[in-house]
Amino acid sequence: MLGLVVAAIMAGSFFMPWMSIFGEDMSPYSMLGDKISLTDLPWRGWAFFASFALAGLAAVAIILQRSAGVLMLVAGGIPFALIAETVLNARGQAQEMGLPLPEGGNPIEAFRKMQDFIELGVPAYFVSAALLVVIGLARAVRGR
C-alpha cells in the first residue's frame, strides 16, 4: 500500500507547483506546451519526464496487483542518476578546462536560500523518488 501512495505522489508531483517566481507558480506540466517543446528536449529532459510516467505506471501496476518493483526502482532512480551524471559531467568539464573546483559549501545553507522559491512539488518528487528506490529494491529482490 505504501508503494502505491509513494508512486502516486511522485507521478502527481508533475502537476504540483515546483517553484514560485514573481508570484507565478511553475511546474513540469506548466512548462510543457508554449514554454518547452518535447521535440527540442535533450535526453535528460526525456528521462526527467519519463520518471513521472514510470511512477504512474508503477502505481497502476500495483493497483492491478502486478509486479512493480523494477518500475518503482527505475522511476525513483532516474532523478538521482540525472543529478549524479550532471555533477560528474560538470566536474569533468571543469577539470579539462583547468578551472578550480568549488569546495562544496554547506548544502543546508543553499537549501535555506532557495526555500523562498521552492514549492511542494520539489520535496514531493525527491522524497518519493528516494522512497521508491528503497521500496522498489525491496520488491524487486522479493520478486513482487
- How confident is the model over 43-67, as pLDDT tens digits? 898 999 999 999 999 999 999 999 8
| Greatest CA separation for the chain | 54
The residues pairing with 24 across neighbouring beta strands, listed in sequence order, are 21
Q: How many domains does one find in the chain?
A: 1
> What is the model's pLDDT at position 92?
79
Average pLDDT of the chain, as a whole number? 86
SS3 letters across 62-127: HHCCCCCHHHHHHHHHHHHHHHHHHHHHHHHHHHHCCCCCCCCCCHHHHHHHHCCCECCHHHHHHH
Residue 46: other Cβ atoms inside 10 A: 11
Tell me the residue range of the domain where 38 lies: 2-142
At position 49, the amino acid (one-letter code) is: F
- How confident is the model over 12-28, as pLDDT tens digits? 999 999 888 887 888 88
